[in-house]
């Protein structure tokens, strides 16, 4: 049986689209059963419908600071659709600690940096200002702290002297679209093992690739 997944979005939903595309393969171990947006005008909603996925809007704005009130409605929708796993895809609303704890080990997020470096806002600008030569993307389990939690998968890209936040974000986004479906596949097939704060992967070996930057020719 395929695991039932909900994707939560607030914006364009390119990671959502990558997950929907991957899940369309007959042998993918999860199905995208529902896309929920906390914004009625999120571009991703149209993309989800075009991909044949059911969508739901639960506006968070009317709840103001009442996070628990918003989450009660969200949880009811997740229950109604028998959702087993959640993927956050650019979902720009913080959760209460209670909500994250109740979904611990079953809710993934993606962030465009090599966590624990550069959590929070403007991770690309943070990376450029720090002068790192490699950056990337991280899929991790969600815990009460923002952009933190056991790391499931990471992908790295070189950072060039000529990068702007836009060019770096474009390069990292390609990696995001590669690793998010793979991380979901691992979780859905029970290959992800959480040991304390660290996540291990059943059957994994070391990657044979090196990524070194800069390269001077
Ligand atoms: C992605 O780059 C994702 O990593 C980031 O928001 C973007 C959403 O794009 N998430 C965070 O910064 C979480 N802290 P998308 O809507 O096209 O997937």
State whether the beta carbon of 13 lies less than 6 angstroms from ligand 1.
Answer: yes
Q: Which two tokens stand for residue 115?
A: 């966590």
Q: Is the CB of 39 under 6 A from ligand 1?
A: no
Listed in sequence order, the DSSP H helices in the chain are 14-23, 43-50, 67-80, 97-102, 123-130, 165-188
What was the pLDDT predicted at 217? Answer: 84
List the one residue out of 53, 11, 60, 12 whose CA is nearest residue 35.
Answer: 53
User: Is ligand 1 within 6 A of the CB of residue 152?
Assistant: no
Q: For all residues of the chain together, what is the average pLDDT? A: 97
129 has pLDDT over 90: yes
Weakest mean pLDDT among 67-71, 93-97, 121-125, 202-206: 202-206
98 Cα–ligand 1 center, Å: 23
> Which structural domains are found in the chain, ordered by start?
1-103 (3.40.50.170), 110-209 (3.40.50.170)
Place of tokens 């702007």: 164
Distance from the alpha carbon of residue 109 to the mean position of ligand 1, in angstroms: 9
| Dist. CA 141 → ligand 1 center (Å) | 15
Please give the pLDDT value at position 206.
84
Overall pTM surpassing 0.95 (yes/no):
yes
The sign of the dihedral angle between the CA atoms of 122, 126, 128, 133 is: negative
> How buried is 207 (Cβ within 10 angstroms: 0-12 exposed, 13-18 middle, 19+ buried)?
exposed
pLDDT digits 0-9 by tens, 2-57: 999 999 999 999 999 999 999 999 999 999 999 999 999 999 999 999 999 999 99
């Amino acid at each position: 049986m395929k695991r039932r997944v909900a994707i939560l979005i607030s914006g364009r939903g390119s990671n959502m689209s990558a997950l929907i595309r991957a899940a369309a393969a007959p042998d993918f171990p999860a199905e995208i059963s529902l896309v929920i947006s906390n914004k009625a005008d999120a571009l991703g909603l149209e993309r989800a419908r075009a991909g044949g996925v059911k969508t739901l809007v639960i506006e968070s704005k009317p709840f103001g600071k009442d996070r628990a009130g918003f989450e009660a409605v969200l949880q009811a929708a997740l229950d109604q659709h028998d959702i087993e796993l959640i993927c956050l895809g650019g979902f720009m609303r913080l959760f209460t600690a209670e909500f994250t704890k109740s979904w611990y080990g079953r809710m993934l997020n993606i962030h465009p940096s090599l966590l624990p470096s550069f959590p929070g806002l403007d991770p690309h600008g943070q990376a450029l200002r720090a002068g790192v030569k490699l950056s990337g993307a991280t899929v991790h389990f969600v815990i009460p702290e923002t952009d933190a939690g056991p790391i499931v998968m990471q992908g790295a890209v070189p950072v060039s002297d000529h990068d702007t936040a836009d060019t770096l974000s474009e390069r990292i986004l390609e990696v995001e679209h590669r690793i998010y479906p793979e991380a979901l596949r691992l979780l859905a097939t029970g290959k992800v093992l959480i040991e304390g704060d660290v996540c291990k992967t059943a059957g994994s070996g070391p990657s044979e690739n090196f990524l070194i930057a800069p390269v001077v020719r």
